[in-house]
Amino acid sequence: MEADQALLDELHHVYLFEELDDEQLTRVLRNSQRVSLPAKSLLFEAGQPADRFYLVHQGQIKLFSLSIDGDEKVMEILYPGNTFAEAIMFMQAKRYPVSAQALGDTVLYSFDMKGFRQILEESQQTCFRLMAGMSRRLHARINEISNLTLHNATYRLVVFLLEQIPEDAIELAEIHLSTPKSVIASRLSIQPETFSRILTRLSAAGLIEVKGNDISLLDVPGLRDLL
């Protein structure tokens, strides 16, 4: 495949390619293909020999498996910028463990596993760079999950707090909730640790005050602004 600048820019954002040098990237691209899949078409089935991995360029890919009863279990939905089946490249087994289907009309880039693996086998330095990149990305994702969980839980807690007071309350400076904190946390499906972190943050922002099991709402408009 010819490498245009747009494709190269796209690849630089993908963890597998970001650490390759120009010569390595040229080799990878020589054995790559652009694949257009109409909606609902099957790309591969579970159990088929795996020799290529993929990058979604446009559209969506569903990875799924079928139970003995024919029930479908969706494992993952992949969007533009996501790669899939590349983990197989690092393993002994060389068969696709799941099936892949295009959801809408989808465009993929497909890459040769053997060629990519060979680049890694030839250069330990490239392996280490790839591991560094993956390690950094894992940390970034864990961070993102932690923030999303906190954000989610904060939202639920603030909605709960505001539900306890009249809808038009604005002037009201202080209300006490005597529900035990552990009961609120459990009702809102918030982990105790996360719950404590949220109370600390809201208190530090002057929005609430916590005394034992009592929570006072000090700044109702401020709490509403969080939603």
Q: Least distance from C-beta 209 to its own copies, angstroms? A: 22
| φ, ψ at 170 (rounded to 5°) | -130, -50
Q: Is 73 in the site for its own copies (CB under 8 A)?
A: no
What residues contact 16, with CB distance under 8 A and at least 6 apart? 83, 86, 116, 130
Nearest to 52 by CA among 107, 103, 111: 111
Contacts of 3 (CB under 8 A, 6+ apart): 25, 26, 29
Question: Total binding residues for its own copies by CB under 8 A?
Answer: 41
The residues, any chain, with a CB within 8 Å of residue 181's CB and separated by 6 or more, are 195, 199, 210, 213, 215
Interface with its own copies includes 146 (CB under 8 A)? yes
* Of 155, 169, 181, 203, the one binding its own copies by CB under 8 A: 155
Residue 193 one-letter amino acid: E
- Lookup: tokens for 101: 């289907």
* Residue 86 within binding range of its own copies, rule CB under 8 A: yes
The interface mask with its own copies, positions 11-30, x = CB under 8 A, is ----x---------------
Taking the complex as a whole, the smallest distance from the CB of residue 217 to its own copies amounts, in Å, to 18
Q: Which of 138, 172, 183, 205 lies at the binding interface for its own copies (CB under 8 A)?
A: 138
Q: Which residues have CB under 8 Å from 5's CB, separation 6+?
A: none
> CB of 34 within 8 A of CB of 107?
yes
- Of the ranges 40-48, 154-162, 178-186, 207-215, which one interacts with its own copies (CB under 8 A)? 154-162
CB-CB contact of 194 with 150 (8 Å): yes
CB of 37 to its own copies, least distance (A): 18
At its nearest, how many Å lie between its own copies and the CB of residue 2? 28
Interacting residues with its own copies (CB under 8 A): 15, 76-77, 79, 82, 84, 86-87, 90-91, 120-121, 124, 127-132, 134-139, 141-146, 148-149, 151-152, 155-156, 159, 167, 193, 227
